[in-house]
Amino acid sequence: MKFNIDEIRDHFPALQQKINGRPLIYLDSAASALREKGVIESIHQYYMFQASNVHRGAHHLSDVATTMYEEARKTTAQFINAKSPNEVVFTRGTTESLNLVARSYAAAFLNPEDEIVLTQMEHHSNIIPWQIVAKEKGFKIKVIPITDNGELDLSQLDDLFSSKVKLVSLTVCSNTLGTINPIEQVIARAHALGAKVVLDAAQSVSFIETDVQKWDCDFLALSGHKIFGPNGIGILYGKEELLNSMPPYQGGGSMISHVTFDESTYLDSPQRFEAGTPHVAGAIGLGKAFDFIQKVGIDTIGQHEEQLIKYATDRAKAIEGLRVIGEAHRKSSILSFVIEGIHPMDVGGLLDQYGIAVRVGQHCTQPLMDRLGLKHGTVRASFSVYNTEQEVDHFIDALEKVKGFF
């Protein structure tokens, strides 16, 4: 697909609406991206005509639904360059995927006095699951700090990485700062110790090529709603031998080999982690979201967003009293900022009157906010493939007007 911004925007019906009498300018894609038309149509098609369970029925509709479901798994595996579709487990999203690894891997294989390393910029979903299991099992959590400009302080790795470290879990891209982390460097250091690595790719998957074999990560989590797909669907990637060594996270139908009242045996991945009736429509929609990204081109999306964030950052810095939060050398299209003397909630509420959707608050990164001394969090504008420089101009003009109210 040749990049044409008008054609791209036509793929997103939500952009056709008005908010408070003004055309919607959607700058909250880091929270949830808008849904692509093909995704919506595929879900509608499934509920209208298949609406059957998968893997179980001895009838045509179930066969069709099963084929569509497993084709989505294949599409996902190809998109992230997994060795096999068996390495792709459908979950409710990044949060469930990380909890699955915490419960089925860390709780099963880590011992008291072992250590897990996180980073200071992690989302709560990549902190709390490890805390819960750490308290139960007695292992410790260590944290890679960040520099003042929002990058990982890699000078601390020698002190943090010891033979006690058994697992490292970090985000590819910060949802608050936009920082893109040097994951391959961290993975190499972790693997040199024999530690496993978990990647939170929720923020990066829509604009950075995700290659689990090149990165050599052990696990990777992502969510459909971040990449123009449905809510309530995501994946956990795991190396097949690891997944097959892990005990199930949940029990129920479809994940068993044999059941008696005394004991049960389980299928291999991915079925052993997909107990119960799956989110079939969500998986189908997720596959269509990956199809859309591939048609546009991941590099094309990345280049467009890179241009937008540079333009938006330059314009924002010209506003007196505005301070950009997070100025890493390599970052995504996330612009977090505070304006002196104005609460972020007030900024967000007033921007909404101009039809502009942004995020405000701590963005589920309270430890990061504490590190930066931002009690009330930030305003976060996040740009995607469907945004334009004209929308940036409207956004900046609205910010100037907001300042005028105070």
User: Residue 23: helix, strand or coil by DSSP?
Assistant: strand
- pLDDT score at 1: 60
| 38, burial (CB in 10 Å: exposed 0-12, middle 13-18, buried 19+) | middle
> Within 10 A of 135 (CB to CB), how many other CB atoms are there?
10
- pLDDT score at 26: 98
76 φ/ψ angles, rounded to the nearest 5 degrees: -65, -45
- pLDDT score at 3: 83
Look up tokens 């409207």; give the residue. 394
> Within 10 A of 214 (CB to CB), how many other CB atoms are there?
10
- pLDDT score at 149: 95
- Is the Cβ–Cβ distance between 181 and 119 less than 8 Å? yes
In a structure prediction context, what are the per-residue pLDDT tens digits for the chain, which is 406 residues long?
668 999 999 999 999 999 999 999 999 999 999 999 999 999 999 999 988 889 877 899 989 999 999 999 999 999 999 999 999 999 999 999 999 999 999 999 999 999 999 999 999 999 999 999 999 999 999 999 999 999 999 999 999 999 999 999 999 999 999 999 999 999 999 999 999 999 999 999 999 999 999 999 999 999 999 999 999 999 999 999 999 999 998 999 889 999 999 999 999 999 999 999 999 999 999 999 999 999 999 999 999 999 999 999 999 999 999 999 999 999 999 999 999 999 999 999 999 999 999 999 999 999 999 999 999 999 999 999 999 999 999 999 999 999 988 8
The tokens for 249 are 């996270």
- pLDDT score at 251: 93
- pLDDT score at 329: 95
- pLDDT score at 57: 74
Look up tokens 């084929």; give the residue. 67
Residues 6 or more apart in contact with residue 287 via CB below 8 angstroms: 42, 68, 71, 72, 73, 75, 76
The tokens for 406 are 């105070």
Among candidate residues 402, 209, 405, the one with its CA nearest the CA of residue 297: 209
Q: Which helix (H) or strand (E) holds 91?
A: strand 88-91
What is the DSSP secondary-structure string of 341-403? Answer: TB-HHHHHHHHHHTTEE-EEE-TT-HHHHHHHT-TT-EEEEE--TT--HHHHHHHHHHHHHHH
Residues 6 or more apart in contact with residue 171 via CB below 8 angstroms: 119, 121, 122, 123, 126, 181, 199, 200, 201, 202, 203, 204
- pLDDT score at 319: 96
The residues carrying an active-site annotation are: 364
- The domains found in the chain, sorted by start residue, are 5-30+297-404 (3.90.1150.10), 40-295 (3.40.640.10)
Question: pTM for this structure?
Answer: 0.96
* Bridge partners (DSSP) listed for residue 238: 219
